[in-house]
Amino acid sequence: MAAASHRLVRILFVCHGNICRSPMAEFVLKDMAHKRGIEDVLQIESAATTNDEIGNPVHPGTVKRLAREGISCAGKHARRITKDDYDAFDVIIGMDEENMRHMMRAWDHDPQHKVHMMMEFAGESRDVADPWFTGDFEATYDDIHDGCVGLLGWLGL
């Protein structure tokens, strides 16, 4: 998918609770876009597939790992995907197979082929490491960084 210089590309990252992986991806990509001077062509958000963390701030482990890169996610609070999100976004990226199943149910599959796994942009066929279970925010950051670099290339940015 190539992004025309005047066309806004709307990207939604999705994970289980929207406190670890998807907000990390949201803010890593926002930072990359800012550094490349392309933030005006990208609208980047994140959401959850469940109600588990709705309204909660980003997980302290994600906040700490992003801070090491000089990235702030202040003010971000978890929200759940809605039926309208499918039409509102051009590219929707799940962090794992479970997220993909939840999104397919929420949106009655993917008729416009907008939904992708994050690691496909890094040339891999696997889930993003989940720090909720592993506590390893470094591995998650590495996965997300590689996926975001690949996504920008896929978008032609």
Cite the active site residues.
15, 21, 130
Rounded to whole angstroms, how far apart are CA atoms 148 and 25?
7
CB atoms within 10 A of CB 8: 11
Residue at 7: amino acid letter? R
What are the beta bridge partners of residue 45? 12
Q: Residue 58 gets which letter from DSSP?
A: P
In the block, residue with structure tokens 């009655």: 108
